[in-house]
Amino acid sequence: MITEAGRATAQKVSAVLGDLAIAHVYSSPLQRAYATAEVIVAGLPAPRPPLTPAAGLLEIDLPAWEGGLRQEIQAQFSDAYHTWKHAPHQFQMQRKDGQSFFPVLDLYAQATQFWQDILPKHDGETILIVAHNGINRALISTALGFPPAYYHAVQQSNCCVNVLNFAGGWGERVQLESMNLLAHLGTALPKPRPEGKGPRLLLVRHGETEWNRQKRFQGQIDVELNATGLRQAQQVAEFLRSTPIDQIITSPLLRPKQTAEAIHQYHSDVPFLLEDGLLEISHGLWEGKLEAEISASYADLLRQWQTTPETVQMPAGENLDQVWARSARTWDQIVAQATQLSQQKSGPDPWTTVVVAHDAVNKAILCHLFGLGPAAFWTFKQGNGCVSVIDYPHGAGAMPVLQAMNITSHLGDGILDRTAAGAL
């Protein structure tokens, strides 16, 4: 059963979801998840959606470790535990009947089958899934194409909220709008991972510009924040005001620089650095033009950009391979430096670097974390003024952990990202 504290947090989830038109709720049949789902459904406005237990949402099966404390398991099964943590796709275990199996690979197959069974039933609808840490990771990963090797790179906190947008059925585009949101529980950012002494990076997208609002392609044209963007920059600054920050690095363009300067006002004693590698994608001849204007001259190429962006060479501009290369190189350099500084830092808090950049660059960095190429460009949403949290508990060169993605709750618009859906 869930505790009273668990019931209270489930009620908070219900409250934050109350304005969504949820058509159906699916839950793991295990008691801790199903009881959580019952509390959530009971708090939703009438007419309440039906609640269905689904075997496809059962938690990962680890029979040899059930009931054991992490420290005990780590000591008793040291080699297997090392594989579990560092190569989960290769991790094997024996079932109670003595047969060997791969728990993570089996979980990914289970998650894939769940999506294939459920999606055709809810075209155009919003559904709620209440499950467990492991299966949630697998659901997110299979929907977005993250390989099983990255199983531990996705964080899921108790009663967090994730938002996935499916363009259609299984195999069609899926966007991760946000991940591991905790503001409804009174928590700003997830706690750092307890193991290791690696750095934390906060990836921020700049506030809104008038060109974002107009859906005008800005690229490397230096557009300043509009009134909404300046307010968003201040809201980001307030959101991170009590977070220990050791360094701020920003693209030199005015819109991220203004956002970074707002954050810096509350951390004025930390280094403030400009980094050319974080410049937005160059749209070349598209820059300064509205989407409708581009469509008139480059209709086919614009369609390619919207559907297969990895195939597009911007006229007199960049392609995504170039953006990927410089974004990944810059990010890896920042992480390497942060790792060195983190090892030297005293105290319990990790070395924390704020990186302020742009939509396309942030998308490239997030894809880079999971080994995804330019074909996955539209996978991650990055709203104006959003914050994403990436930990490197074991430092540069080891697996990162995406702790939270596209947090926009500090902008005051509820659980969904309601920032401008304008051009890059």
Distance CA 33, CA 164 (A): 20
Q: Assess if CATH 3.40.50.1240 describes domain 4-58+108-156.
A: yes
Residues in the chain: 424
Q: What is the CATH number of domain 200-411?
A: 3.40.50.1240
Residue 117's pLDDT band (cuts 50, 70, 90):
very high
Task: Give pLDDT tens digits for 261-299.
Answer: 999 999 999 999 999 999 999 999 999 999 999 999 999
Distance CA 193, CA 41 (A): 31
Q: Is the per-residue pLDDT at 195 higher than 80?
A: no
Q: Is the per-residue pLDDT at 342 higher than 80?
A: yes
Task: Give all strands (DSSP E) within 256-400, no chain letters.
Answer: 272-274, 352-357, 387-391
State what percent of residues in the chain have pLDDT above 70: 100
Q: Is the per-residue pLDDT at 115 higher than 80?
A: yes
Residue 48's pLDDT band (cuts 50, 70, 90):
very high
Phi, psi of 217 (to 5 degrees): -70, 125
Contact 280, 359 (CB under 8 A): yes
User: Between the CA atoms of 291, 285, 288 and 361, what dihedral angle is there, to the nearest 10 degrees?
Assistant: 80
Task: Give pLDDT tens digits for 229-271.
Answer: 999 999 999 999 999 999 999 999 999 999 999 999 999 999 9
Identical fold between 4-58+108-156 and 200-411: yes
Question: Of the listed 280, 283, 318, 358, which one is catalytic?
Answer: 280
Say if residue 63 is preceded by a cis peptide, omega within 30 of 0: no
Contact 26, 54 (CB under 8 A): yes
Distance CA 228, CA 239 (A): 16
Question: For the chain, what are the domain ranges?
Answer: 4-58+108-156, 200-411
Distance CA 188, CA 178 (A): 14
Model confidence pTM above 0.85: yes
CA 405 to chain centre: 3
Distance CA 296, CA 17 (A): 41
List Cα–Cα distances, 257 to 233, 274, 338, in angstroms: 10, 8, 20
Among 182-196, 297-311, 366-380, the range scoring the smallest mean pLDDT is: 182-196
pLDDT of residue 17: 97
Mapped onto helix, strand or coil, the DSSP state of residue 145 is coil
Question: Could you confirm whether 206 is annotated as catalytic?
Answer: yes
Mark residue 406 as left, alpha or beta (left: phi above 0; alpha: psi -120 to 50; beta: remaining). left
Contact 176, 140 (CB under 8 A): yes
Question: Could you confirm whether 38 is annotated as catalytic?
Answer: no
Helix, strand, coil percent content, the chain, rounded in steps of 5? 45, 15, 40
Question: Of the listed 184, 206, 358, 410, which one is catalytic?
Answer: 206
